[in-house]
Amino acid sequence: MKYCKGFPCKMEVDGWNVTLHDLEHTMLSLYWDFTLSKQDKQDLMDEYKEERMRYLDSRFQFTDENRRRLEEVEQLWKKALQCMDTVCKRMAERELEKRNQGGLAAQVLILHLEICNLEDTEVVCYLREERDLWKVLCEEDRDFEHSWGILRDCVLLNQHGQDETDEGYTVQRTTKADSYGGWETDGEENGVGKDFCSMKKAYYLAWEDVMKISQFYLTVKLIY
């Protein structure tokens, strides 16, 4: 087995020689390691995440109950997208109005949509290790302004948008999948929409991870 500064370059969970606990423990250790270069750390973590997703998905059962929960999360996802589009439009129009009235207005708006942290429910109370693992899976690296978030909208307010057909701004949307060279799927998977599946794969989430998503969070940045 090849290693990179003490971390195995590849792990295959079989339940005996290498368990899921072994893999997740290694992921947490790697998360807190500061000796590796950022690129080596990212490459190793992606390898571990993908193996974890493969193993858990191979054991996942699409029962009626699980399907209903996945449908609920997909509806949360769709509502978050609608909210993002609405906020984007309203804020862009507000800044344009301020500019047209001679006030100080932003030139660029940047919106990031991300997965929220785990939230306890009446039924489930998450352990600290589970919360730490969720950070490994879903935490965003805000050092990379142009790539963090499931979706990122960059709204450019045009200097001259007087034409009736011109909204006065343009929106450039990028996705987490774009940052990884594209995660296109052939279509729906077990009744779950294509875009939703792309989000799952971009974060290397197992289906049981997706079921834990309770909400999405929107961050808006204004640049003057």
Q: Which amino acid makes up residue 116?
A: C
Angle, alpha carbons 131-136-139 (nearest 5°): 90
Q: Are residues 17 and 76 in the same domain?
A: no
Backbone angles phi, psi at 195, to 5 degrees: -65, -35
pTM, whole model, 2 decimals?
0.84
Q: Are residues 123 and 219 in the same domain?
A: yes
Q: Are residues 22 and 100 in the same domain?
A: no
What is the reported pLDDT for 190? 58
Contacts of 22 (CB under 8 A, 6+ apart): 11, 13
Picking from 34, 59, 84, the residue at the C-terminal end of a domain is: 59
Picking from 59, 89, 105, the residue at the C-terminal end of a domain is: 59
The answer to whether 174 and 151 are in contact (CB under 8 A) is: yes
Q: Which tokens sit at 2?
A: 């090849």
C-alpha to C-alpha distance for 200 and 197, rounded to whole angstroms: 5
Q: Are residues 36 and 101 in the same domain?
A: no
Q: Are residues 31 and 126 in the same domain?
A: no
**Structural domain count, the chain:** 2
Length of the chain: 224
Q: Which tokens sit at 12?
A: 């295959």
What is the reported pLDDT for 164? 41
Q: What range does the domain containing 14 cover?
A: 3-59
DSSP 3-state helix, strand, coil percentages of the chain (rounded to 5)?
45, 15, 40
The answer to whether 169 and 96 are in contact (CB under 8 A) is: yes
Q: Are residues 17 and 112 in the same domain?
A: no
Q: Are residues 42 and 86 in the same domain?
A: no
Q: Are residues 72 and 92 in the same domain?
A: yes
Closest CA to 31 of 119, 132, 118, 115: 132
C-alpha to C-alpha distance for 152 and 166, rounded to whole angstroms: 22
Q: Which amino acid makes up residue 178?
A: D
Q: Are residues 140 and 86 in the same domain?
A: yes
Q: Are residues 131 and 182 in the same domain?
A: yes
Q: Are residues 79 and 120 in the same domain?
A: yes
Picking from 35, 59, 83, the residue at the C-terminal end of a domain is: 59
pLDDT by residue, tens only, the chain of 224 residues? 788 888 999 999 998 899 999 999 999 999 999 999 989 999 999 999 999 999 999 999 999 999 999 999 999 999 999 999 999 999 999 999 998 888 899 999 999 999 998 888 777 888 999 999 999 999 887 776 666 888 889 999 876 544 444 678 888 888 876 655 444 444 455 556 677 788 888 899 999 999 999 999 999 999 99
Q: Are residues 39 and 80 in the same domain?
A: no
